Every structure is written in C-alpha cells, then in structure tokens.
Structure 1
Amino acid sequence: MQMADLGDIRLHYRLDGPEDGAPLVFSNALGSDFRIWDKVVARLPGSLRILRYDTRGHGLSDAPEGPYSMGSLVRDLERLMEHVDMRDAVVVGLSLGGMIAQGLAAKRLDLVRALVLSNTACKIGTRDIWADRIATVTEGGTAALAEGTLQRWFSPPFHDTPEITGWRHMLERSDRTGYVGCCHAIAGTDFMTPTSGLRLAAMGIAGSADGSTPPDLVRETTELIPGARFELIRGAGHLPCIETPDAYAALLTDFLTAQGHAG
C-alpha cells in the first residue's frame, strides 16, 4: 500500500510497470476507487509506467470535511504526479476523473502530454441535480442512490452477472463526506472555455448505454479540442473499463501507439 502525504491530504496510490516506462495516469469516477482500472491495466503493454490513485474522499485516501472544489481535486493530482516524479504523461480520466484531467491539462501542460476523456464532459448535470443528490446522500448515505447509479453505470446484461455485487458494495461503502464533497466540486465546474483552449492530442470514449454521460455529451466535449478523435463502445454503460475491458484497452493501446507512447 502506497500513501502520498501531501501536507493537507494523504492519497492512496499505486504504481505499476518499469520506472523508465512511458507514463500513464488514471483518474476515477465519483463513487469508485482505482480498482475500476484493474482489468484494463492487465491488458495494456507492459512497458508503461502506470499511476492510479483514489480521489480525495474515496477509497483509502483521506476524506476531509467538504465541500471540495474542482481546483483542489486538480491540485491533488498535480501534487501526486510531482510526488512520484511523473510528467509528460497521457492522462485518462473517467467521469469526475475526466473533469480533473481537463483541469490539469489546462493548468499544467508540462505534466500532460495527451488526454483520454472517458464518459465525461466539460460540464456534467445542473446545480439542481447535484443539490438533490447531495441531499439524498447526506440523509441516507450512498446506499440511498445505489440502485439508480448502478443502472446508469452498467448495461442491463451486466446486472445479471455475479460481479455486479462487488461494484454495488464499492459504491454503497463510499465515504459520505467524500462523496458529497466531490458532488459540490462537479456542481460548480464548467470547463467549456479552458477545454476549448487546449491544443494537445486527445481521445473521447463513450458507452452507448451510458445513462450518466450519454455519447452526444461526450462527443460535444471531445470536439472542443481540435483534432481529437471520438470512439463509441457499443453496449457499454458509464464504466466501460469494467464492462468491456478488451475494447477499452484496445482503444487506449491504439491511441498510445499513435502518440509514440506505448513503449
């Protein structure tokens, strides 16, 4: 277990691959931890140096009192990459993680070589939607919204697999303070202007059965970056890294190879 003490926050992280490998960073969705990437990492080239971490308020990272700002979440990743001496990385962000990735790229292009914006957008939902979710979790914890969230996360066939139970437990056991803190960060974020100013290689990934960030929303954000490519994984929900890891890893490997970043 690796913990980075960044002064005001301690973040749980993991490094895989050779120390001199091409750097690749993963940032997670709201209500999840870095285990969502396990299947994808196992299918990627072994030459990569891979950083995964639990977002503030999630997994084994600290969950300080909120609300959190998106700036603080971006700064957490910025400082973690500096802590492990990683720069010029391809950053893959899913949902909330995709917002963090956009913010990091706008702030620190020395850290970000290319972006993969997965099942995300420059703005997700409305303040009213997030206010309702904050109220629900504050009252009843994340278990109170688990059923609806899992319906958006995964396509119907996946709900018939034994694996769904583990992901339900991950969500239901998420820290209430951390989840609500990150909801505040998402509610207050609109990256339309900074993302449209980015000039770097980028790929958007969407799932055709995603009930949280539908394909058109992901496509609209991807197209803010000139030259970015857009890929749709058919039959996948909001977490294609779990549901369709073969397709996801193939897209990611192809993108990394195109950037000369696969080793």
Structure 2
Amino acid sequence: MQIVNLQTVALHVRVDGPEDGVPVVFGNSLGTDLRLWDKVVPLLPSGLRVIRFDKRGHGLSDCPAAPYSMDQLVGDTEALLDQLGVSGCAFVGLSIGGMIAQKLAARRPDLIASLVLSNTAAKMGDASMWKDRISAIQAGGIEALADPIMERWFSAEFLASDELAAWRNMLTRTPREGYIGCCHAIAGTDLSEATSKLTQPTLGIAGSEDGASPPELVEGTIAMIKGASCHTIEGAGHLPCVERPTEYAALLTAFLKELGHV
C-alpha cells in the first residue's frame, strides 16, 4: 500500500512491474477505486510498469471538501506522474478518468504518449443533470441512487450476477464529499476544443449496453481526434473492464503492440 503526498492531496497508488518498463497509467471512473482494473492487469503482457491510483475523494486517497474542479483532478494526476518520474506513458482512462486523460494529454504531451479513452467523452451530460444528482445525494446519500446507477453501469446479464453486490458496495462506500466533488468537476467540463487538437495515438472503447456513456457518445469524441479508432465491446456496460476483461485486455495489448510498447 503506497501513499504519495502531493502539495494539495495525498493519493493512494499501486505500481506493479519493473521500474524501467513502459508505463501504463489507469484512471478510474466516478464511484470506483483502483480495484476497477483488477481483472485486466493480470492479462496484460509482462514487463509493463502498471500504475493505478485513487483520485481525490475516492478509495484510500484524501477526501477534501467538495466541490472539485477538473483542473484540480488533472493537476493531481500531473503532480503524481511527475513525482513518480513518469513520462511518455500510455494512459487508460475510463469515464471521468478519460476526461482527466484528455485534458492532461493536451496540457502535458510529454507525460502522455498515447491514450485509451474508455466509456468517456469530451462532455458527459449537462450541468442541470449533475446538479440534480448532487441534490439527490445531499438529500439521501449515494445509497438513494445506487440501483439506477448500477443499471447504467452494467448489462442485464451482470445485474443478475452475484458479483453485482461488490460493485454496489464500492459505489455506496465512496465518500459522499468525494463523489459530489467529482460530479461538480464533470458538470463544469467541456473538453471539445482541447480534445479536437490532440495528436497522440488514441483508441476508444465503448460498451454496447452502456447507459452512462452510450457508444455514440464515445464515438463522437473519438471522431474528434485525427487517426483515432473506436471499438465497441458487445454485451458490456459502462465498465467493460469488469464485464469483459479478456476482450478488454486483448484490445489494450493489441494497441500497445501496435505502438511498439510491448
């Protein structure tokens, strides 16, 4: 268990693989922690330096008072990678993790050499939708919205599985301030201009059953990036790395091999 103390926040980090391996950084979605990638990481080629972290307000990282801005979340990630000595990484970002990846890639192309933008977009929802979600959580806690969130996250098949309870628990045990803080960050963000100027090789991944970021939303963002491609995983929802880890890992591996990282 590793904690990295930055100027403004302490983040929980896990690093696997050799220090001289090609760095692959994973950014999590709203309401999850770095365990989001537990099924995928063992399926990746050996020799990579795999870096996972809990963003502020999530997992074992510090939870400052809400609201947060996207600039703060990106700044945290930038400071973390600088402190870990990371440059030229492949950044795999899912949902809000993908928003962080887009903005950081535009700000610091020296840090991010390639992007995997999974179940994300340059703009996710409108401000009024996020305002309503924040109000509902302030009134009744995350528990009040847990079931509809699960329905947006997962396919019908996964919703009937025993594993669902673990992901529901992860969501509801996310600190309220952390969840609300990140909702504010998403609500105030439209990355269309910056994302359209990205030059890094980019792979988009969508889930055919994703109720939070439908395939057409993901595809619209990927289409902004010159030379990028997008793949939809059939039968998966918002977290295809959980529902279809073998296919997800195969897509990542093929992308990394294409770039000469493995």
- Using the TM superposition, give the Cα deviation of residue 103 of structure 1 relative to its aligned residue in structure 2, in angstroms: 0.6
Matched, 1:161 2:161: yes
The number of equivalent residue pairs is 262
Q: CA deviation at 1:138?
A: 1.2
Q: C-alpha displacement at 1:87, in angstroms?
A: 0.9
Percent sequence identity is 55
| Matching residue of 1:30 | 30
d(CA) in 2 for partners of 1:252 and 1:146? 30
Q: What is the distance in 2 between the residues matched to 1:142 and 1:80?
A: 28
Residue 137 of structure 1: how far off its partner (Å): 1.0
SS in structure 2 opposite 1:42? helix
Alignment map for 1:95-106 (pairs within 5 Å): 95-106=95-106
| TM-score normalised by length of structure 1 | 0.99
Aligned to 1:261, the other structure's residue is in SS state coil
Q: Which amino acid aligns with 2:173?
A: R
**Greater CA deviation, 117-126 or 78-87?**
78-87
SS of corresponding position for 2:65: coil
Secondary structure of the residue aligned to 1:134 is helix
Determine the structure 2 residue equivalent to 1:41.
41
TM-superposed CA distance for 1:247, in Å, is: 0.5
RMSD over equivalenced CA pairs, Å: 0.6
Gaps of 5+ in 1: none
Displacement of 1:231 in angstroms is: 0.4
Structure 1 runs of 4+ off > 2 angstroms? none
Confirm whether residue 204 of structure 1 aligns to residue 212 of structure 2.
no
* Residue deviations 1:164-205 (CA, integer Å, cap 9, x gap): 111110001110001000000000000000000111100100
Amino acid at match of 1:193: E
Matched, 1:14 2:26: no
State the AA in 2 paired with 1:102: Q
TM-score when normalising by structure 2: 0.99
Q: Distance in 2 between matches of 1:98 and 1:147?
A: 24
How big is each residue's C-alpha offset from its partner over 1:126-167, in whole Å with a ceiling of 9 and x where there is no partner? 011000000011111111111001001110011121111111
Q: Which residue of 1 aligns with 2:233?
A: 233
Kindly provide the CA deviation profile for residues 73-102 of structure 1, in whole angstroms up to 9, marking residues without a partner as x. 001110111111111000000000000000
Show the counterpart of 1:119. 119
CA distance in 2, matches of 1:28, 1:200: 20
Residue 252 (structure 1) aligns with? 252
- 1:25-174 equivalences in 2 (<5 Å): 25-174=25-174
